[in-house]
Amino acid sequence: MGDQMGIADSIPNAANSLEGVELPGGWTIHRKRDIDPDATGGNFGICYFASRPDGTQGFVKVLNIARAFIGGNFVDNMRALTNAFAAERDLCLMCGERRLSRVVVAIDHGEIFIDGFGVLGSVSYIVFELATHDVRKALSMSTDIDDVVRLEYAHSMALGLRQLHSIHVAHQDVKPSNFLVFPNDSGGRSVGKLADLGQAHRSGHPSPLDSAIMPGDPAYAPPEQLYRFAHPDERTRREAADLYQLGSLISFTFTAWTMNALLAYELAPELHWARFGDSFDAAIPYLEDAFAGALEHIATRFPAALTGSLTPMVEYLCEPDPTKRGHPVTRRQAHGSPYALDRVVSALDLLARRRALGTSS
């Protein structure tokens, strides 16, 4: 696939040649953004940095229709590419209209034609707000990021997911490279936002990814997906997976370990998802045992003052059995979703505010 991508990208086309181009919305396109080796969504796109005369910064994702030449039928490939691009564009625009404060939204979009490239001269684009870093880079750039900042990041992660779930959208690819860090808000709190909705599921809007057992990055997929099980209940299949990835990202933010890395460490080789030959139900007892070891690992690596709060949170978010995930109180309620994130958002907000004041968690 990598060689095919390279061949496609070598085809002369306008999407690869936009440096210096001015878009109708006043944006000037600058250099390309380096390809993220951790990226899974948006294989149809090439990204650039851009700016407006007033100093507003953004990044531009453009549709690279040369990818339609990769294998299969060109017409079918072209239809799939344009549909995927349109779905992400429309979803990101809707998130902007709904004012989702912890989701990266589209701030402009359109289509331009560049002479000299024939049928490959047409370029559809989406402009997004520009982040400072993703959370991996933010954490690696400084050894003195305090607990308050990490808690504020975790609060943003949970709030972003709650906002998406409130409009019946499951992200499906929550991971470090898809959590972006922005300048602090007006209240001085650290701000992060969920990005890249290219793998998202939007209820009522069918997508080719709807039938995929593992729509996101396998390195961060929940256990049921790793063991190739698609739960028949839509909400369990989508929202419970988001909860697992949220808990894993919280673990990563404080300990540099994702839950999948910990499970892989704890599982015997023959029980690992890459080798296990039985069903997911048969794997659950082994996963529960490995999960207990994983929780012991992160409990010793969370800050002492926070481990009593964060370890149980990661436990109920990352429970290997998706039907048992979610806050214990929420799960006992007779109404609403067992995967509702209201209590998680509130708990992280309270922890961050108490730590900022120097009080006990």
**One domain for residues 95 and 63:** yes
Asked if 333 and 241 sit in the same domain, the reply is yes
- Structure tokens that stand for 354 in this block: 């108490």
Distance, CA of 65 to CA of 62 (rounded, Å):
9
Last residue of a domain, one of 98, 129, 160: 129
Closest CA to 348 of 299, 309, 319: 309
Mean pLDDT, residues 301-330: 96
**Within this chain, do residues 212 and 339 fall inside the same structural domain, yes or no?**
yes
DSSP letters for 216-248:
S-GGG--HHHHTT---SSHHHHHHHHHHHHHHH
Question: What's the pLDDT score for residue 180?
Answer: 95
- Residues 125 and 159 reside in one and the same domain: no
Residue 158 belongs to some domain of the structure: yes
What is the token pair recorded at 49?
Answer: 């940095």
Burial class (CB in 10 A: 0-12, 13-18, 19+), 98: middle
**Same domain, yes or no, for 103 and 47?**
yes
> What would you measure as the largest C-alpha separation in the chain, in angstroms?
65
DSSP letter at 35 equals: P
Q: CATH number, domain at 262?
A: 1.10.510.10
- For the chain, the domain total comes to 2
Decide if 352 contacts 152 (C-beta within 8 A): yes
Q: Are residues 35 and 121 in the same domain?
A: yes
C-alpha atoms less than 13 angstroms from C-alpha of 56 in its C-beta half-sphere: 13
Give the Cβ contact number of residue 236 at 10 Å: 18
Amino acid (1-letter code) at residue 39: A
Q: Which of 88, 105, 129 is the last residue of a domain?
A: 129
Establish how many alpha carbons lie within 13 A of residue 115's alpha carbon, considering only the half-sphere containing its beta carbon.
Answer: 0
Q: Which residues are 45's β-sheet partners?
A: 63
Residue 61 lies in a domain: yes
N-to-C CA span, the chain? 49
Say if 361 falls within a structural domain: no
36 lies in which domain range? Answer: 2-129
Q: What's the pTM value of the predicted model, to 2 decimals?
A: 0.91
Which amino acid belongs to residue 94? M
267-297 confidence digits (pLDDT tens): 999 999 999 999 999 999 999 999 999 999 9
**pLDDT score recorded for residue 359:** 66
> Does residue 28 lie within any of the structural domains?
yes
Residues contacting 282, CB < 8 A, separation 6+: 276
**Residue-level pLDDT at 36:** 59
Count the Cβ atoms, other than its own, within 10 Å of residue 189: 17
Q: What is the pLDDT of residue 1?
A: 44
Q: For residues 179 and 142, state if they share a domain.
A: yes
Which of 120-134, 144-158, 251-265, 330-344 has the largest mean confidence? 251-265
Q: Which CATH number fits the domain that encloses residue 69?
A: 3.30.200.20
| Statement: residue 253 has pLDDT above 90 | yes
Domain boundary among 129, 152, 173: 129
